[in-house]
Amino acid sequence: MSDQASKDAAAKARIITHMNADHHDSVVRYLENYHHLPGYQAYNGRISDASLEHIAFECAGLKYRTALDPPMSSFREARERLVQMDKECLQALGRSDITVKEYISPTGLYLAGFVIVSTTLVAFSLRSNFEAGSLISAVVPDWFARFCWTIQPFIFYGMLVIHSAETWHMASGRLRKHNVNVRSRIWWLWMGTTFIEGVGAYNRSVFFPPLSNIEFLSNRVDHRFDKMIKKKRAEKDKQKH
């Protein structure tokens, strides 16, 4: 093997290792955009080979090849070419260049809201929770237990509908835009939190104050998520200077 061939082989190995280890989100986008794989399937993808003319992928036992047009003249062009390809994918897929790889759990007032909503969901999940002899009926006045028994279906199913809509909005909006894959642990953590903290549930409960009076309950998950994105954007912009 010639000296240049050895250098090319080493450069190729570094590129493949680096992309698979540190830029897996870009690899997923290549497969989504150039080979039209759904995100959950592309999540298993990895770069298996590279040349000056193409990049080869393996995903779920299948092989894919993306041609480089025009071909590179040397592997020194690889970084710039891969970055440009990723930008094309981001634009074509309607994604942000900020990838979310972390989950921020609720704290403080956010945690209080989480506990209140989750407790309400559990309490109103069954009418029998408000019947005589139940734990709740033992600690609340009889008239209040009877009232909760009456409104239980409206509260519980109303919360399910509203919170499901909030969860769908989070999944199809922010999480998709910021490259959070449905196969990732982060996706499920954000989804679980969003389902519990869904905006608007307490507006339908006559024994809680109006939502407008509980500012911290409004857009709780969205606020934390957007604040994180704003921070990441500032860090990314700082790196450009």
Higher pLDDT, 125 or 169: 125
Same domain, 141 and 222: yes
Strands of the sheet with 54-59, listed across from one edge? 46-50, 54-59, 62-67
Given a cut of 60, is residue 210 above it in pLDDT?
Answer: no
Same domain, 68 and 140: no
Provide the whole-model pTM: 0.79
Q: What is the mean pLDDT of residues 167-185?
A: 90
Question: What's the chain's Rg over C-alpha atoms?
Answer: 25
Same domain, 186 and 88: no
Q: What is the mean pLDDT of residues 55-82?
A: 95
Extract the tokens encoding 21. 């280890």
Range of the domain at 22: 3-93
Extract the tokens encoding 91. 């634009």
Q: How far apart are CA 204 and CA 202, in angstroms?
A: 5
Same domain, 85 and 173: no
Helix axes 185-196, 142-170, angle to 10 degrees: 140
Judge if the upstream peptide bond of residue 141 is cis by omega within 30 degrees of 0: no
- In this structure, the number of other CB atoms found within 10 A of the CB of residue 96 comes to 16
3-class DSSP state of 56: strand
Given a cut of 80, is residue 137 above it in pLDDT?
Answer: yes
Question: In this structure, is residue 176 part of a structural domain?
Answer: yes
CB half-sphere exposure, 196, CA atoms < 13 A:
19
Dihedrals phi, psi of 48, to nearest 5 degrees: -105, -25
Same domain, 128 and 229: yes
Question: In this structure, is residue 188 part of a structural domain?
Answer: yes
For position 62, which CATH number holds? 3.20.180.10
Question: In this structure, is residue 103 part of a structural domain?
Answer: no
Given a cut of 80, is residue 206 above it in pLDDT?
Answer: no
CB half-sphere exposure, 216, CA atoms < 13 A:
11
Partnered with residue 139 across adjacent β-strands are none
Given a cut of 60, is residue 160 above it in pLDDT?
Answer: yes
Q: What is the mean pLDDT of residues 233-237?
A: 79
At residue 199, the pLDDT reads 52
Question: In this structure, is residue 62 part of a structural domain?
Answer: yes
How many domains, in total, are found in the chain? Answer: 2
Same domain, 236 and 137: yes
Q: What is the mean pLDDT of residues 81-85?
A: 96
Question: In this structure, is residue 60 part of a structural domain?
Answer: yes
Largest CA distance in the chain: 89
At residue 4, the pLDDT reads 79
Question: In this structure, is residue 100 part of a structural domain?
Answer: no
Q: What is the mean pLDDT of residues 124-152?
A: 95
- Amino acid, res. 231: K
Question: In this structure, is residue 113 part of a structural domain?
Answer: yes
Q: What is the mean pLDDT of residues 90-98?
A: 94
Percent of the chain beyond pLDDT 70? 88
Strands (E), 80-211: none
At residue 209, the pLDDT reads 39
Same domain, 59 and 166: no
Same domain, 182 and 236: yes
- In this structure, the number of other CB atoms found within 10 A of the CB of residue 214 comes to 16
At residue 221, the pLDDT reads 64
Extract the tokens encoding 86. 């990723």
Q: What is the pLDDT of residues 3-25, one digit of tens each?
A: 778 888 999 999 999 999 999 99
Strands (E), the chain: 46-50, 54-59, 62-67
Out of 59, 93, 127, a domain closes at 93
Same domain, 81 and 113: no
Of 109-123, 129-143, 150-164, least confident by mean pLDDT is: 109-123
Given a cut of 60, is residue 123 above it in pLDDT?
Answer: yes
Extract the tokens encoding 156. 């519980």
Q: What is the mean pLDDT of residues 24-32?
A: 97
Out of 64, 93, 122, a domain closes at 93
- The average confidence (pLDDT) of the chain is 85
Same domain, 212 and 171: yes
Strands 54-59 and 46-50, bridge-based pairing: antiparallel
Out of 93, 118, 143, a domain closes at 93
Same domain, 158 and 65: no
Question: In this structure, is residue 25 part of a structural domain?
Answer: yes
Same domain, 226 and 128: yes
Closest CA to 26 of 12, 43, 10, 50: 43
- Amino acid, res. 220: R
Q: What is the mean pLDDT of residues 173-186?
A: 92
Q: What is the mean pLDDT of residues 123-133?
A: 95
